[in-house]
Protein backbone atom coordinates (compact mmCIF):
# COMPACT_ATOMS: atom_id res chain seq x y z
CA UNK A 1 0.00 0.00 0.00
CA UNK A 2 1.26 3.52 -0.81
CA UNK A 3 3.41 5.12 1.92
CA UNK A 4 0.93 8.00 2.10
CA UNK A 5 -1.40 5.59 3.87
CA UNK A 6 1.03 5.33 6.79
CA UNK A 7 -0.78 8.24 8.47
CA UNK A 8 -3.66 5.90 9.10
CA UNK A 9 -1.63 3.45 11.20
CA UNK A 10 -3.74 4.35 14.23
CA UNK A 11 -6.78 2.83 12.55
CA UNK A 12 -7.25 -0.90 13.03
CA UNK A 13 -5.96 -2.65 9.92
CA UNK A 14 -9.00 -4.90 9.82
CA UNK A 15 -11.28 -1.85 9.82
CA UNK A 16 -9.29 -0.21 7.02
CA UNK A 17 -9.45 -3.40 4.96
CA UNK A 18 -13.21 -3.63 5.45
CA UNK A 19 -13.73 -0.02 4.34
CA UNK A 20 -11.54 -0.49 1.27
CA UNK A 21 -13.24 -3.75 0.36
CA UNK A 22 -16.73 -2.32 0.68
CA UNK A 23 -16.13 1.06 -0.96
CA UNK A 24 -13.30 0.19 -3.34
CA UNK A 25 -15.76 -0.14 -6.26
CA UNK A 26 -17.04 3.38 -5.51
CA UNK A 27 -13.47 4.72 -5.64
CA UNK A 28 -12.90 3.04 -9.01
CA UNK A 29 -16.20 4.30 -10.44
CA UNK A 30 -15.46 7.90 -9.44
CA UNK A 31 -11.91 7.60 -10.81
CA UNK A 32 -13.08 6.42 -14.23
CA UNK A 33 -15.76 9.11 -14.30
CA UNK A 34 -13.26 11.88 -13.54
CA UNK A 35 -10.64 10.52 -15.91
CA UNK A 36 -12.58 11.86 -18.90
CA UNK A 37 -12.07 15.41 -17.57
CA UNK A 38 -8.38 15.04 -16.81
CA UNK A 39 -5.23 15.85 -18.78
CA UNK A 40 -3.97 12.88 -20.79
CA UNK A 41 -0.99 12.56 -18.45
CA UNK A 42 -3.22 11.54 -15.52
CA UNK A 43 -3.45 7.79 -14.96
CA UNK A 44 -6.52 6.13 -13.50
CA UNK A 45 -4.31 4.23 -11.04
CA UNK A 46 -3.15 7.57 -9.57
CA UNK A 47 -6.76 8.71 -9.17
CA UNK A 48 -7.68 5.47 -7.44
CA UNK A 49 -4.74 5.80 -5.04
CA UNK A 50 -5.72 9.37 -4.18
CA UNK A 51 -9.33 8.27 -3.83
CA UNK A 52 -8.36 5.60 -1.31
CA UNK A 53 -6.71 8.31 0.79
CA UNK A 54 -9.97 10.27 0.65
CA UNK A 55 -11.96 7.17 1.56
CA UNK A 56 -9.87 6.54 4.66
CA UNK A 57 -10.11 10.21 5.63
CA UNK A 58 -13.86 9.91 5.35
CA UNK A 59 -13.90 6.79 7.51
CA UNK A 60 -11.88 8.56 10.20
CA UNK A 61 -13.80 11.85 10.17
CA UNK A 62 -17.37 10.74 9.54
CA UNK A 63 -19.87 11.83 12.17
CA UNK A 64 -23.33 10.30 11.81
CA UNK A 65 -24.84 13.08 13.92
CA UNK A 66 -24.22 15.59 11.11
CA UNK A 67 -27.00 14.07 9.03
CA UNK A 68 -25.32 13.00 5.79
CA UNK A 69 -25.04 9.30 4.99
CA UNK A 70 -21.56 7.82 4.91
CA UNK A 71 -21.98 6.94 1.23
CA UNK A 72 -22.62 10.60 0.40
CA UNK A 73 -19.83 11.90 2.63
CA UNK A 74 -17.33 9.34 1.36
CA UNK A 75 -18.18 10.14 -2.25
CA UNK A 76 -17.44 13.83 -1.65
CA UNK A 77 -14.14 13.10 0.08
CA UNK A 78 -13.04 10.57 -2.55
CA UNK A 79 -13.75 12.93 -5.42
CA UNK A 80 -12.15 15.83 -3.58
CA UNK A 81 -8.99 13.87 -2.81
CA UNK A 82 -8.61 12.93 -6.48
CA UNK A 83 -9.07 16.51 -7.67
CA UNK A 84 -6.74 17.88 -5.01
CA UNK A 85 -4.07 15.41 -6.09
CA UNK A 86 -4.33 16.49 -9.73
CA UNK A 87 -4.36 20.19 -8.84
CA UNK A 88 -1.10 19.83 -6.95
CA UNK A 89 0.49 18.86 -10.25
CA UNK A 90 -1.19 21.55 -12.38
CA UNK A 91 0.21 21.01 -15.88
CA UNK A 92 -1.43 23.84 -17.77
CA UNK A 93 0.74 26.68 -19.12
CA UNK A 94 -0.15 30.23 -18.14
CA UNK A 95 -1.50 30.88 -21.63
CA UNK A 96 -4.30 28.37 -21.03
CA UNK A 97 -5.33 30.02 -17.77
CA UNK A 98 -5.11 33.43 -19.46
CA UNK A 99 -7.35 32.28 -22.32
CA UNK A 100 -9.82 30.83 -19.84
CA UNK A 101 -10.12 34.26 -18.21
CA UNK A 102 -10.43 35.89 -21.64
CA UNK A 103 -13.34 33.62 -22.57
CA UNK A 104 -15.12 34.37 -19.28
CA UNK A 105 -14.64 38.09 -19.89
CA UNK A 106 -15.86 37.82 -23.50
CA UNK A 107 -18.99 35.92 -22.46
CA UNK A 108 -19.74 38.51 -19.78
CA UNK A 109 -19.26 41.46 -22.14
CA UNK A 110 -21.26 40.02 -25.02
CA UNK A 111 -24.17 38.83 -22.89
CA UNK A 112 -24.27 42.14 -20.99
CA UNK A 113 -24.39 43.96 -24.31
CA UNK A 114 -26.96 41.84 -26.18
CA UNK A 115 -29.08 40.73 -23.23
CA UNK A 116 -29.13 37.05 -24.16
CA UNK A 117 -26.83 34.02 -24.38
CA UNK A 118 -23.82 34.73 -26.56
CA UNK A 119 -23.41 32.55 -29.62
CA UNK A 120 -20.13 30.80 -30.36
CA UNK A 121 -19.45 33.19 -33.24
CA UNK A 122 -20.14 36.26 -31.10
CA UNK A 123 -17.70 35.09 -28.43
CA UNK A 124 -15.07 34.32 -31.06
CA UNK A 125 -15.58 37.77 -32.59
CA UNK A 126 -15.22 39.40 -29.16
CA UNK A 127 -11.96 37.49 -28.66
CA UNK A 128 -10.82 38.42 -32.16
CA UNK A 129 -10.16 34.83 -33.21
CA UNK A 130 -11.72 32.38 -35.72
CA UNK A 131 -14.43 30.20 -34.23
CA UNK A 132 -12.25 27.08 -34.67
CA UNK A 133 -9.57 28.74 -32.53
CA UNK A 134 -12.23 29.53 -29.94
CA UNK A 135 -13.20 25.86 -29.84
CA UNK A 136 -9.56 24.92 -29.31
CA UNK A 137 -9.34 27.39 -26.44
CA UNK A 138 -12.40 25.75 -24.90
CA UNK A 139 -10.82 22.33 -25.35
CA UNK A 140 -7.63 23.47 -23.63
CA UNK A 141 -9.62 25.02 -20.81
CA UNK A 142 -11.63 21.83 -20.36
CA UNK A 143 -8.43 19.84 -19.95
CA UNK A 144 -6.76 22.28 -17.57
CA UNK A 145 -9.36 22.68 -14.86
CA UNK A 146 -12.05 20.58 -13.28
CA UNK A 147 -15.30 22.40 -12.85
CA UNK A 148 -17.70 22.06 -9.93
CA UNK A 149 -20.87 23.99 -9.22
CA UNK A 150 -19.61 24.99 -5.78
CA UNK A 151 -16.33 26.37 -7.13
CA UNK A 152 -18.30 29.01 -9.02
CA UNK A 153 -19.78 30.45 -5.84
CA UNK A 154 -16.58 30.15 -3.85
CA UNK A 155 -17.52 27.32 -1.51
CA UNK A 156 -15.12 24.69 -0.22
CA UNK A 157 -16.57 21.75 -2.08
CA UNK A 158 -14.54 19.11 -0.34
CA UNK A 159 -14.32 19.76 3.40
CA UNK A 160 -12.04 17.45 5.34
CA UNK A 161 -14.47 17.61 8.24
CA UNK A 162 -18.24 17.67 8.20
CA UNK A 163 -19.25 21.24 9.00
CA UNK A 164 -20.83 21.95 12.32
CA UNK A 165 -24.06 23.92 12.24
CA UNK A 166 -22.59 26.07 15.00
CA UNK A 167 -19.71 27.07 12.72
CA UNK A 168 -22.02 28.87 10.26
CA UNK A 169 -23.28 32.29 11.36
CA UNK A 170 -26.88 33.27 10.57
CA UNK A 171 -25.62 35.90 8.11
CA UNK A 172 -23.22 33.41 6.55
CA UNK A 173 -26.07 30.93 6.15
CA UNK A 174 -28.23 33.52 4.40
CA UNK A 175 -25.40 34.49 2.05
CA UNK A 176 -24.66 30.84 1.31
CA UNK A 177 -28.28 30.14 0.45
CA UNK A 178 -28.47 33.27 -1.68
CA UNK A 179 -25.44 32.11 -3.67
CA UNK A 180 -27.05 28.72 -4.12
CA UNK A 181 -30.23 30.29 -5.42
CA UNK A 182 -28.29 32.56 -7.76
CA UNK A 183 -26.37 29.58 -9.09
CA UNK A 184 -29.55 27.56 -9.62
CA UNK A 185 -31.03 30.49 -11.54
CA UNK A 186 -27.84 30.80 -13.63
CA UNK A 187 -27.89 27.09 -14.46
CA UNK A 188 -31.54 27.32 -15.43
CA UNK A 189 -30.76 30.16 -17.82
CA UNK A 190 -28.10 28.23 -19.75
CA UNK A 191 -28.80 27.13 -23.33
CA UNK A 192 -30.65 23.80 -23.37
CA UNK A 193 -27.73 21.75 -24.69
CA UNK A 194 -25.36 23.09 -22.06
CA UNK A 195 -27.87 22.34 -19.29
CA UNK A 196 -28.26 18.83 -20.63
CA UNK A 197 -24.51 18.20 -20.71
CA UNK A 198 -24.12 19.37 -17.10
CA UNK A 199 -27.07 17.25 -15.97
CA UNK A 200 -25.80 14.13 -17.73
CA UNK A 201 -22.27 14.61 -16.41
CA UNK A 202 -22.91 15.68 -12.81
CA UNK A 203 -26.33 14.19 -12.04
CA UNK A 204 -26.38 11.05 -14.18
CA UNK A 205 -22.56 10.63 -13.98
CA UNK A 206 -22.19 9.72 -17.64
CA UNK A 207 -18.73 10.14 -19.12
CA UNK A 208 -18.06 12.40 -22.11
CA UNK A 209 -18.17 9.55 -24.61
CA UNK A 210 -21.56 8.40 -23.30
CA UNK A 211 -22.91 11.95 -23.42
CA UNK A 212 -21.67 12.24 -27.01
CA UNK A 213 -23.72 9.17 -27.93
CA UNK A 214 -26.80 10.72 -26.32
CA UNK A 215 -26.35 14.02 -28.17
CA UNK A 216 -25.06 12.54 -31.41
CA UNK A 217 -21.80 14.55 -31.31
CA UNK A 218 -18.13 13.72 -30.79
CA UNK A 219 -16.53 13.36 -27.37
CA UNK A 220 -14.37 16.42 -28.04
CA UNK A 221 -17.47 18.48 -28.88
CA UNK A 222 -19.06 17.43 -25.58
CA UNK A 223 -15.90 18.58 -23.82
CA UNK A 224 -16.18 21.97 -25.55
CA UNK A 225 -19.85 22.32 -24.61
CA UNK A 226 -19.07 21.39 -21.01
CA UNK A 227 -16.26 23.93 -20.79
CA UNK A 228 -18.38 26.66 -22.38
CA UNK A 229 -21.19 25.95 -19.91
CA UNK A 230 -18.74 26.22 -17.01
CA UNK A 231 -17.33 29.51 -18.23
CA UNK A 232 -20.78 30.90 -19.06
CA UNK A 233 -21.83 30.13 -15.49
CA UNK A 234 -18.77 31.93 -14.17
CA UNK A 235 -19.67 34.99 -16.22
CA UNK A 236 -23.26 34.87 -14.94
CA UNK A 237 -22.04 34.61 -11.34
CA UNK A 238 -19.67 37.57 -11.65
CA UNK A 239 -21.53 39.50 -8.94
CA UNK A 240 -20.52 36.80 -6.46
CA UNK A 241 -16.86 36.94 -7.46
CA UNK A 242 -14.28 39.52 -8.38
CA UNK A 243 -14.93 41.38 -11.61
CA UNK A 244 -13.98 39.29 -14.65
CA UNK A 245 -11.83 42.20 -15.79
CA UNK A 246 -9.49 41.62 -12.89
CA UNK A 247 -6.53 39.33 -13.27
CA UNK A 248 -6.58 36.10 -11.37
| 157-194 pLDDT, tens digit each | 333 344 444 444 555 556 667 777 877 888 888 899 99
Specify the domain boundaries for CATH 1.10.1740.10 within the chain.
Answer: 3-87
Answer for the pair 207, 196: CB distance below 8 angstroms, yes or no: no
What's the pTM? 0.55
Q: What's the CATH fold of domain 94-240? A: Butyryl-CoA Dehydrogenase, subunit A; domain 3 (1.20.140)
CATH architecture of structural domain 3-87: Orthogonal Bundle (1.10)
How do residues 25-71 score in pLDDT, each as one tens digit? 999 988 888 876 676 667 888 889 989 988 988 888 887 777 778 88
Intervals of CATH 1.20.140 along the chain: 94-240
Q: Which residue in 237, 226, 150, 236 sits closest to 194, CA to CA?
A: 226
Amino acid sequence: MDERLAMYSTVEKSSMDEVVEQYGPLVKRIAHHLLARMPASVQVEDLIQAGLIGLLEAARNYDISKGASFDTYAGIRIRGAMIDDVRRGDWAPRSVHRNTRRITEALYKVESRVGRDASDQEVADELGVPVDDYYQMLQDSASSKLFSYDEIVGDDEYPKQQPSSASISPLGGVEHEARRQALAKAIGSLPERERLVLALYYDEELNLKEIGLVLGVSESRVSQIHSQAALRLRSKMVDWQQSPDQSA
